[in-house]
Amino acid sequence: MKAHLTRRYRFSASHRLHSDAMADEENAATYGKCNNPHGHGHNYALEVTVSGPVDERSGMVCNLVDLDGFVRREIIERFDLQNLNMLPEFARMVPTTENLCAVIHDILQRGFTLAHLEKVRMEETMMNSFEYAGGAELRR
Amino acid sequence: MVYLTRKAEFSASHYYDNPSFSPEENRQLFGKCNNPNGHGHNYTLEVTVKGEVDTRSGFVVDLKQLKEILQREVLDALDHRFLNKEVPEFFTLIPTTENLAISIWQRLAPKLQKAQLHRVRVYETPDLFVDYYGEA
């Protein structure tokens, strides 16, 4: 039987929203306080949802030890306590949480093969969150 | 179609062990969760039903009835229990969060009349939950 498993992680990082494609005034108008040249930080929450048949022998969709290990190695260690604008992923891309969601989805999609990736959900603050399912429709 | 979600909480203990594995295999696969004395969680359950809104009552489902069914079929059976030892399906099934979600679905689905069960979500901790949509 197919089940969906969601695991929640946390990391903190700083960023500045600024697009090279816009003039300074347009950047300021578009991003407001987020355009502050010195950047600012968030405590992000990341939710990873994977799905698959529940293995009869283990009772699991996938072993949490494997998922936690992958996310720690490939995502938390890469982004936690970093300035996102300094990372190669964001050399040419504004580090909005939309883009961060897509980058993290891509890391999981390429590297985590032990269950089907359903979606990535990120909370930038308690008041806003973003979900990305790699172009697929989100399941209610 | 309107979706309605009812929350409930229960506390239970469990451990993970597959008798067809050797003790070493069980320890390797399940880690700390293999301790036969068990350990516990405060589970949060979210049951989502869906249906058309009844024009006379304005309800998708009579919440009082849903609460009673939840209490009788799920909470009375699971709350403050050692799942492996006291809940029949877990005499053989490993009481992972995945299997718990499936088991709760199977307990509820036949008892619901008007509303259709859409999703069972079980939080083992605030950082781990499983959704089951009744899929084979």
Amino acid A139: pLDDT: 85
Of B3, B20, B31, the CB nearest to A140: B3
Helix/strand/coil (H/E/C) assignment for every residue in A33-73:
HHHCCCCEEEEEEEEEEEEEECCCCCCCCCCHHHHHHHHHH
Instruction: State the catalytic residue, choosing from B14, B24, B33, B39.
Output: B33
B135 is annotated as an active-site residue: no
* Number of C-beta neighbours around residue B121 at 10 A: 21
Q: Summarize pLDDT for A15-41 with one digit per residue, the tens.
A: 999 999 999 999 999 999 999 999 999
Amino acid B70: pLDDT: 97
Q: What's the residue count for chain A?
A: 140
Angle, CA of B44, B46 and B52, to the nearest 5°: 170
Helix (H) or strand (E) holding A17: none
* B76, two tokens: 């009375």
| Distance of residue B59 Cα from the nearest chain A Cα, in angstroms | 20
Amino acid B62: pLDDT: 92
Of A2, A8, A54, the CB nearest to B127: A8
* Number of C-beta neighbours around residue A125 at 10 A: 11
**Residue B59 DSSP SS3:** coil
For residue A5, what is the nearest residue in chain B, using CA coordinates? B130
Band of residue B36 on the pLDDT scale cut at 50, 70, 90: very high
Instruction: State the catalytic residue, choosing from B25, B68, B80, B98.
Output: B80
Side chain identity, residue A42: H
Amino acid B74: pLDDT: 98
Amino acid A96: pLDDT: 97
Rounded to 5 degrees, φ, ψ at A37 are: -55, -25
* Residue keyed to tokens 């399940």: B30
Amino acid B115: pLDDT: 85
Q: The whole model's pTM is what?
A: 0.94
Chain B environment of A64 (Cβ under 8 Å): 128
* Number of C-beta neighbours around residue A1 at 10 A: 16
Q: Summarize pLDDT for B96-109 with one digit per residue, the tens.
A: 999 999 999 999 99
* A83, two tokens: 């300035």
| Distance of residue B56 Cα from the nearest chain A Cα, in angstroms | 27
* Number of C-beta neighbours around residue A38 at 10 A: 6
Q: Which of residues 30 through 49 in chain A touch B, CB cutoff 8 A?
A: 49
Q: Is A58 exposed, middle or buried (0-12, 13-18, 19+ CB in 10 A)?
A: middle
Amino acid B67: pLDDT: 96
- Chain A contact for B98 (CB, 8 A cutoff): yes
Q: Summarize pLDDT for B41-80 with one digit per residue, the tens.
A: 999 999 999 999 999 989 999 999 999 999 999 999 999 9
* Residue keyed to tokens 């004395």: B37
Instruction: State the catalytic residue, choosing from B14, B41, B73, B124.
Output: B124
The percentage of residues in chain A with a pLDDT greater than 70, rounded to a whole number, is 100
Q: Which of residues 49 through 88 in chain B touch A, CB cutoff 8 A?
A: none
- Chain A contact for B120 (CB, 8 A cutoff): no
B39 is annotated as an active-site residue: no
B80 is annotated as an active-site residue: yes
